Structure 1
Amino acid sequence: MFAQRFSATRRGARLARRLAAHRLDLWGVPYGSTASDTVVLVVAELAANAVLHGRVPGRDFELRLRLDHARGAVRVEVADTHPGRPEPAHQRAAAEAEGGRGLLLVEALAARWGVAERTGPGKTVWAECALPHHRQGHPR
């Protein structure tokens, strides 16, 4: 498992995405592979939502990644301290809107996703991404 807290800023979200790609590579899911790109995009969208919609001044967001070898999947969890829930993915953004499509991407890319309560204020948005071509074995 990988867990790290980041500042609730665009820079923090960017660092979360980069460290996720690095961790996946260490786990044998190489940079630039379809599986890595999928998980990294999910991390990017959930981290961006935590920064844009879940930000509470002075509080960080947390990224957790879990590799499940038996199921060939990665679970992405992003926790923030804002008590509000994200908009359901089935609510479509207006065509002229500049945002509002992040959870639609998560829904399209992930095998499953949802929102869970967390200890303390806030919520955890999670997604599970299948790694169809991930070799079974031990992480490097």
Structure 2
Amino acid sequence: MNTLTIRLLAAPEAARLLRHAVREHLGPDGHADAELCVTELLSNVITHLGAGTPVTLRVSGSGRATRTRVELTDPAPRARPVRREAAGDDESGRGLALLEAVALRWGVTQGYRTRTVWCEL
């Protein structure tokens, strides 16, 4: 299986780089929803763990694959993402709802010193 792996420090400016890498990896038949998921997962790390947190992005599959898997791993094994119900005027709290809306399924895998939030498209 064709896998893209990128290790970097979470920062707002990294979102553009990751979206571009995902677009290049998935090709012309790629999945725009994968770019959205990467942005939301990175944003959650920045919001809850802080800019500068080391993360690893993995995207398995290609634009022609029947399924694409997006994973973002960070060093917070005990932190569990929780879907919130954002009010109409809230400026945040919609990331996991967006992920849930576009993904076939999503979840969290706990590692020894890591946590991976993943979704399949």
| Normalised TM-score (structure 1) | 0.74
Paired residues of 2:41 and 2:72 also in contact (CA < 8 A): yes
1:77 aligns with 2:42: no
1:18-38 C-alpha deviation (Å, 9 max, x unpaired): 21111111xxxx1xx6x5211
Aligned residues: CA RMSD: 2.2
Paired residues of 1:75 and 1:128 also in contact (CA < 8 A): yes
Give 1:43's aligned residue: 38
Q: CA separation of 1:61/1:86 partners in 2, compared to 1, >3 Å: closer, same or farther?
A: same
Give 1:134's aligned residue: none
Displaced runs of 4 or more, over 3 A? 68-71
1:57-76 C-alpha deviation (Å, 9 max, x unpaired): 65411100101799700000
Paired residues of 2:59 and 2:70 also in contact (CA < 8 A): yes
Q: CA separation of 1:69/1:10 partners in 2, compared to 1, >3 Å: closer, same or farther?
A: closer
Q: Among the aligned pairs, what percent are the same residue? A: 36
1:57-113 C-alpha deviation (Å, 9 max, x unpaired): 6541110010179970000000111331111x3x31122210100110100000000
Paired residues of 1:107 and 1:113 also in contact (CA < 8 A): yes
Which amino acid in the other structure matches residue 20 of structure 2?
A: R
Q: Residue 94 of structure 1 aligns to a residue in which SS? A: coil
Paired residues of 2:108 and 2:116 also in contact (CA < 8 A): yes
2:21 & 2:65 partners in 1: Cα distance? 23
Q: How many residues align?
A: 118
1:19 aligns with 2:21: yes
Which amino acid in the other structure matches residue 5 of structure 1?
A: R
1:112 aligns with 2:105: yes
Which amino acid in the other structure matches residue 104 of structure 2?
A: A
Give 1:60's aligned residue: 54
